Structure 1
Amino acid sequence: MSVTINAHQLGRLIDKTIDHMGSEYVEPLHGIRLDVDARYLYAVASDQYTIAVARYQLNHGDQQQEPWARTIPAEHLRSIREWIDTMKGAGLVTISTAKDRLVFEGPQTDLSISVNTALEFPDWRGILRKQVEQAADGPTFPALNSGYLARFNTGDVLRARVTGDEKPLLVFAEDFLGAQMPARYAGVYPCKEETFDGAHQSWLWTLSAGSKDANLDGAAYEEDRPRYEATTDIRETGETLLQQTLRSGWDMAGKSGDKPEEFLAHCLAAVNGWAAFRYLDALYNVDPRAAAAVVAETAGEFDSGEISEFAWGAAEKAGFDPQKWLDDYEAYRKRKAEERASETLA
């Protein structure tokens, strides 16, 4: 029984769940559970206060196998994560089961760890199904441990559902589902109010000085950033690329006949904008952190104003000959100039 996943995605499954695993005093929970069904590979961890599930959709070939599950002991997680970091993100890792082992086969090296197949892991599907399917329980004002909340900081945009004062908080993201148990509320200051009405009443005097129409809409504020400074935000970068593609496409209209050079310039801008967006989107789906790092690094290169130097160095590093490109381009420009001059004389 085996599944195949790329290195980046396997690293993400571990990173999204590792902060939720139980302590060494609860052996069944002291690790990350790899659970495979006919559609997904899941990584699951819980310490009984929080539970986190990250999943990866299997390719068609892997979906023919029988379901299986094994718990990676906590003491092996660091070595597995370091092993993943030694390979390129797109490198494929095959995870297979043996009698009492999990085997990770990479492009260059393999890693084998011992596992205890007798450990009983909780029915995490049943636990989360119960919470997801239950209706919200009236006006809710649950007490939550902020330290546990921090465990869900994986860089994703999260959606949350509050199901009741003494019921778990549900957290959703792309291919991620988690839950946090409510705190056993002791009524200790500064959150001594046990109901929302009580908390509201305690803040009335302070908040009454504010306007009822006030908001924190992002449109009401503008970043104090020069127009030429490139954004480091990945979503804003994607929006800019899509806008460039569409605007260039709109500008192409009516330029093909009377202004062919402008038409070609807009065509090139539209093609490059769309290509850049597709590449960025693909990288984000493989590894959001790598995509964000590339956007931030590229923004710094834009702001430095040395793009030509960076491109020249990248071309040489890739084994190309940018000097030949320059010579060919200069010859092309010279030829075009001579053709225009001859047309003028004629």
Structure 2
Amino acid sequence: MTTINAHQLGRLIDKTVDHMGSEYVETLHGIRLDVDAQYLYAVASDRYTIAVARYQLNADEQQEPWARTIPATYLRSIREWLQQIEGAGLVTISTVEDRLTFKSPHSELTISVSPGIEFPDWRGILRLQVEQAVDGSETFPALNPGFLARFNSGDTVRLRITGDDKPVLFFAEDFLGAQMPTKHAGLSPVGKEDFNGAHQAWLWTLAAGAKDASLDGPAFEEDRPRYEVTTDIRKTGEALLRQTLGSGWDMSGKSTRLPDEFLAHVIGAVNGWSAFRYLNALYNADPRAAAAIVAEVADELDSGEIGEFAWDAAKKAGFDPQKWHDDYEAHRKERAEKDAAKAETAA
């Protein structure tokens, strides 16, 4: 059993919720509560980012280590339940097999969890990154994270940290920016003011992680339904490249014995590569426009009406989709007649 006040538990969730994985990665679609002898941790990762928030437990409390992942579907209910408790009100968290129970003096909330669900060795992953950052440098500027979002212009940016009391520089194609450390705003950093101090503060936690931990592996990859459409521009590009390569591999496979099947693979490869090149060119020209069109196309594909959309687009562009349809039907009829004649001759 673990005890924490309602306000602090809510903060742990709020600090990590934006980092959890998508609904197509069951092992990452939620927040991991992880308890050791000293801390209660909330951990979330989408493989691109990872976030850990911790709360120091009462030293007198005999705490047995445990870990459970709260599925994303329950997070809203938990936050609403916590809001009904006074911030200083204590909440006890207990685990019984496939149940996680949150109990306050006047109410309780029980949710279903999967005790055996796999989760990354977050201690090991962060241990490796932190240890690699121990290079003797004293550069460790304090930044207001609220300002970082202002540099999200849709471009991929590169960073250059210039010093403790100097701005962090942001570079992108046709873009240059800088963010001043909090010292320039009259604010002092909260907590340890140097990297070695911060490293020491987390050393006990990270020491329990494996040195070869990673987020690679099938358990942490998306299990997206075959025809599920994504609105993420990076995943869209990945899907197009996989289609191109997959169709290319299929061209030399056993399924290419029939001309029609070979042609289908050729068309799949050509269209996949063409779409990727067009998307990549649009992204380089205008990342926001590329992201917007990917989201718009995803909605159109999800609607199941792309035939109607294509027909309207052809007419709007000045083409004659009815003629295309008539030519297609004539081709099918001619082909059917040829196949029938071949069958009659063979008989």
Query: TM-score normalised to the size of structure 2?
Result: 0.52
The code of the aligned residue for 1:344 comes to A
Name the CA distance, whole Å, in 2 between partners of 1:216 and 1:209.
17
Compute the displacement of 1:240 (Å): 1.6
Compute the displacement of 1:207 (Å): 5.8
Compute the displacement of 1:330 (Å): 0.8
1:296 alignment counterpart? 295
Over 3 Å counting, the alpha-carbon distance change for 1:246 and 1:202 in structure 2 is closer
1:244 alignment counterpart? 243
The code of the aligned residue for 1:248 comes to S
1:11 alignment counterpart? none
Name the CA distance, whole Å, in 2 between partners of 1:270 and 1:224.
23
Over 3 Å counting, the alpha-carbon distance change for 1:224 and 1:343 in structure 2 is closer
2:143 alignment counterpart? 144
Pairing 1:183–2:182 present: yes
The code of the aligned residue for 2:241 comes to L
The code of the aligned residue for 1:264 comes to L
Name the CA distance, whole Å, in 2 between partners of 1:219 and 1:280.
28
- Between 310-319 and 218-227, the greater mean CA deviation after superposition: 218-227
Written as runs of structure 1 = structure 2, the 5 A alignment for 1:332-343 is: 332-343=331-342
Name the CA distance, whole Å, in 2 between partners of 1:144 and 1:196.
14
Name the CA distance, whole Å, in 2 between partners of 1:327 and 1:142.
68
Q: 1:138–1:164: 8 Å Cα contact kept in structure 2?
A: no
2:77 alignment counterpart? none
Pairing 1:160–2:159 present: yes
- Between 275-284 and 138-147, the greater mean CA deviation after superposition: 138-147
1:221 alignment counterpart? 220
Q: 2:250–2:256: 8 Å Cα contact kept in structure 1?
A: no
Compute the displacement of 1:338 (Å): 0.6
Name the CA distance, whole Å, in 2 between partners of 1:197 and 1:327.
74
Gap runs ≥5 in structure 1: 1-135
Written as runs of structure 1 = structure 2, the 5 A alignment for 1:201-212 is: 201-203=200-202
The code of the aligned residue for 2:147 comes to Y
Q: What's the CA shift string for 1:300-343, capped at 9, x where partnerless? A: 22222222122112222223222222122111101110111111
1:171 alignment counterpart? 170
Gap runs ≥5 in structure 2: 1-134
Q: 1:241–1:277: 8 Å Cα contact kept in structure 2?
A: yes
Q: 2:182–2:188: 8 Å Cα contact kept in structure 1?
A: no
2:279 alignment counterpart? 280
Name the CA distance, whole Å, in 2 between partners of 1:250 and 1:257.
10
Q: What's the CA shift string for 1:91-110, capped at 9, x where partnerless? A: xxxxxxxxxxxxxxxxxxxx
- Between 314-323 and 232-241, the greater mean CA deviation after superposition: 314-323
Compute the displacement of 1:137 (Å): 8.5
Name the CA distance, whole Å, in 2 between partners of 1:171 and 1:137.
24
Query: TM-score normalised to the size of structure 1?
Result: 0.53
SS of 2:169's partner is: strand
The code of the aligned residue for 2:316 comes to K
RMSD (Å), alpha carbons: 3.1
Q: What's the CA shift string for 1:184-242, capped at 9, x where partnerless? A: 276757x1322223333444566677777665558652446433211111122112212
Name the CA distance, whole Å, in 1 between partners of 2:344 and 2:215.
65
How many residues align structurally?
A: 210
Name the CA distance, whole Å, in 1 between partners of 2:285 and 2:181.
34
